Chain A
Amino acid sequence: GAGVSQSPSNKVTEKGKDVELRCDPISGHTALYWYRQSLGQGLEFLIYFQGNSAPDKSGLPSDRFSAERTGGSVSTLTIQRTQQEDSAVYLCASSFSGRNTGELFFGEGSRLTVL
């Protein structure tokens, strides 16, 4: 498809388990972002990848969270030893680099529920 694709769309897991969330950005977009959205809240920045540069990890809430981007395309967000407070919608977005405006293209998100 032409848009940002995320999987799974829904994930229910037990506290303490690890989860992996996948993002497939729009082809040609070199910038990739992960945001987290808790129920009824705004978007919380997690991590940002830009080309081959070192990622901006300043938004990751703890060392249980990590992300990688392989080959400048697909990204995986990993949450280890999940906690109930990790329950949220995890949104991935991509954009053209160098535009320096605000137009990000978001996927539909992965809803994570930690029991």
Chain B
Amino acid sequence: GESVGLHLPTLSVQEGDNSIINCAYSNSASDYFIWYKQESGKGPQFIIDIRSNMDKRQGQRVTVLLNKTVKHLSLQIAATQPGDSAVYFCAENFGNEKLTFGTGTRLTIIP
């Protein structure tokens, strides 16, 4: 079925440390997997995406890893900063431009 889920609803990380947010998916037909960041009172903001034929993609301080064998997606944030505190959502795109979002993980950066 079409479902995207997250392993942990909350995550606390010391400022400066690296964080890893995980996501499981069930639909092997997804074309793209995407990570969004949502700060309090704001709409979600695109962070990074990865095509289904890739295993890894890097951005600025972020890396997304895709393991299609176990249907697992992760977002790694390096050297976390207070501004990284937010809710992070993974989402799937099945090629029809309609995204299916997970529940979200709240990341809190501890000063």
Contact = CB atoms under 8 A, between A and B. Distances in A.
Residue with the greatest number of chain B CB neighbours at <10 A, chosen from A43, A48, A107 = A43
Interface in A81-112: 91, 93, 95, 97, 100-109
B34 A100 contact: no
Q: Bin the interface of chain B by size.
A: 20 to 34
Interface residues of A, number: 26
Given A45-B98, A45-B99, A106 B31 contact: no
A71 interface: no
Contact of A101 (B93, B98, B100, B102): B93
A50 interface: yes
Given A101-B93, A102-B91, A103-B34, 6 more contacts: A31-B97, A45-B100, A56-B98, A104-B44, A104-B46, A108-B42
